[in-house]
Amino acid sequence: MPFRDRKVRQPTLIIATVAIMNRHRWRPRFLGAAGAALVLALAGCSSSNTNPDADGSPAARGSYPVTVSTESGDVIIESAPERILTLGNPAFENVVALGSHPVAASVTNIDKLPYLADYVGNEALDESLADIYAGQVNFERMLAVEPDLIIAPAWPVFTEPATLERLRTIAPTLIFDMQDADNDWRVGVQQVADALGKSEQGGELITSAVDEFTGVAASNPGLARRPYSFGLYYKEQISLGSGGNILRLFGMKPAEDQAAVESTGTPVTYSGETAGDVDGEAVLLMPSPRDSIANLEQSPFWESNLKSRVVWLSDAQGEAINNAGVLGKTWLPGNLGTALGQLG
């Protein structure tokens, strides 16, 4: 059934290794393997009113024209799209998960993401469409593709007014909402489904993803008794960010320091000898770079304090939390759940 709730009950905090970014739009970064700055972002966990009988929208019926409302404005799609162009990994994920086939797609680090393994070498992949990390968009290449619908996540490179205006001159452009202070991660998935006339299928995909989380929670009831802290380990500092909010779908609750981050938007950082003071009984950390793990594990408080609490996140796990569409969100619980279950 379609997901319609656009409200998130916890605010988001976005942390980069070099700067605090705009709280309401976040920049994609692949963790570790791409050598880029890491980003922590909130995946809000809100309840939804998803009564299918209450949804009489054209998208729910698969008919056109359809209007999809997003934070970037309303998008009117006059007819069923046949030449979809996607920008950014989550756009590609959401479209292919819904059974549609982009004619061109900008995707990064696909060979390092297990949940996209089936699409390595896909003929639609076109690196010339955009350089996400450099903030560059190739409008000329897009014109050559002749899309009838452009789909992209609400990242700054695409929401910049001049860029968005030009995209809209090429084709109707859906900038779907990403997980932030105003939107649950499920909102954007549903927006893409609505645009493609597949609202019910979008709801089913969302339900399947959530079921993966609840299944792990049922198999590991001890997780509910382990408050979590979630952050980045960089330059011998632990910086907590609110992206860990998605862990609530496992039945977990934030530790005191994590709750402060998620409720106030104020970063919490532990440096050097204070690293052992992090509150969580489950401390999920994204190391940057990956070989920095040794710095913490060789610290004097590792064996007696942190070893039993820390879960090191892989690059793919971090990407799935921060930047993924519905494929990454569905893959994450089974993969991360194994590590969480080892905490006991």
| 130, part of any domain | yes
pLDDT of amino acid 344: 64
Q: In this structure, are residues 256 and 280 in contact, taking their beta carbons and an 8 Å threshold?
A: no
| 265, part of any domain | no
Residue 238's DSSP bridge partners are 233, 270
| 44, part of any domain | no
Residue 151's DSSP bridge partners are 86, 174
Q: Which residue has the tokens 């979809």?
A: 84
| 66, part of any domain | yes
| 15, part of any domain | no
| 109, part of any domain | yes
At 244, the amino acid letter reads G
- Which residue range is the domain that position 108 belongs to? 53-199
C-alpha to C-alpha distance for 48 and 45, rounded to whole angstroms:
10
pLDDT of amino acid 42: 34
Per-residue pLDDT reduced to its tens digit, 34-77 = 333 344 443 333 333 333 333 444 555 568 999 999 999 999 99
| 40, part of any domain | no
> How many domains would you assign to the chain?
1
CB atoms within 10 A of CB 300: 9
| 81, part of any domain | yes
CATH code of the domain containing 57: 3.40.50.1980
Q: Which residue has the tokens 């980045």?
A: 232
pLDDT of amino acid 266: 81
Mean model confidence pLDDT for the chain: 84
For 94, the token pair is: 């959401």
Per-residue pLDDT reduced to its tens digit, 265-316 = 788 999 988 999 999 999 999 999 999 999 999 999 899 999 999 999 999 9
C-alpha to C-alpha distance for 285 and 229, rounded to whole angstroms:
8
Q: Angle, to 10 degrees, between the axis of helix 89-97 and the axis of helix 326-341?
A: 100
Say whether 31 sits in a helix, a strand or coil. strand
pTM for this one? Answer: 0.81
pLDDT along the chain (344 residues), means of 10: 55 33 35 39 36 44 88 96 98 98 97 97 96 93 98 96 97 91 81 98 98 95 94 93 82 94 85 92 94 94 94 92 92 93 78
Q: In this structure, are residues 250 and 333 in contact, taking their beta carbons and an 8 Å threshold?
A: yes
Q: Compute the half-sphere exposure of residue 74: CA atoms within 13 Å on the CB side of its CA.
A: 5
